[in-house]
Homo-oligomer: A and B are copies of this chain.
Amino acid sequence: MKKVVLVYSGGMDSSVLLYDLIHQGYQVSTFSIFYGQKHQKELAVAKKFASLLSLQHKLADISNLSDIFGNTSLVANHCEIPDGHYEEESMKETVVPNRNMIFLSLATAWAISIGSNKIAYAAHSGDHAIYPDCRNEFADAMNEAIQLCDWNSVSLVRPFVGLSKAEIVRKGVELEVPLEQTWSCYKGLDVHCGQCGTCIERREAFYLAGVEDKTKYSSSAPSLKFLVANNWRV
């Protein structure tokens, strides 16, 4: 059976990719990382999906290393998660230095150990705006390095690289993914805040896909009507 290790955050994109890979006949093992992110709620979601689908799941805890990441607001307690659209300057505070390389390097080690020759992650076409390590060129170089890191052939695949987040929502509907159960919000409260960068991106994706968003948002979140009227600026 074709085997793949999926870097799995419990978010919408990687959850849809998970269902897509299973649909394609892969035996998927899911790999999640706790790096000290305030929204560790996503990890519980990841575990829940893996358990629901009876998949081998591994959580790598590198939260003790959070000081090597400096002052990113996703991790550092003294930095607040900014509200607003991903395109805004303030969102750069959410960049975690070299996060993707660290995730991929650990996932690759595990893939080699369990005899899986593919590593997948859910990079998509809207990803690279503020994150340097979401660029195609970065992923291409990582794929090169991953292919050379073992004597056996291992490779990195990004099946969603040509899709927008709205297209991922549509694919999720086709594959009957319970999208409302996936977790995006950086704040990691009881429900999605509805106004941080990743919540705005999520809401916009449902809107652009023409799909009803059943996610539960905080009662203080701006309304969809307000967001549309304000071009997704909060």
**Size of chain A's interface in residues, with CB distance under 8 A?**
41
Interface string of A190-230 (1 = CB under 8 A from B): 00000000000000000000000000000000000000000
Chain B residues lying within 8 Å of A62, measured Cβ to Cβ, are 62, 65
Partner of A149, one of B64, B98, B112, B114: B98
- Asked whether A68 lies within 8 Å of B106 as measured between CB atoms, the reply is yes
Contacts of A68 in B (CB 8 A): 58, 60, 106, 109-110, 113
Q: Nearest CB to that of A146 among chain B residues?
A: B101
Complex Cα spacing A112 to B102, Å = 13
Q: Which of B69, B112, B144 contacts A109 (CB 8 A)?
A: B69
Contact B149 A100, beta carbon cutoff 8 Å: yes
| Docked complex: A103-132 residues within 8 A CB-CB of B | 104-106, 108-110, 112-114, 132
Interface secondary structure of A, over-half rule: helix
A175 partner residues in chain B, CB cutoff 8 A: none
Q: Which residue numbers of A lie inside 8 Å of B, CB to CB? A: 58, 60-62, 64-65, 68-71, 96-102, 104-106, 108-110, 112-114, 132-133, 135, 137-138, 141-142, 144-151
**Interface pairs (16), CB distance under 8 Å:** A60-B68, A68-B106, A68-B110, A68-B113, A71-B113, A98-B109, A98-B149, A98-B150, A101-B109, A101-B145, A102-B102, A132-B149, A132-B151, A133-B148, A141-B148, A144-B145
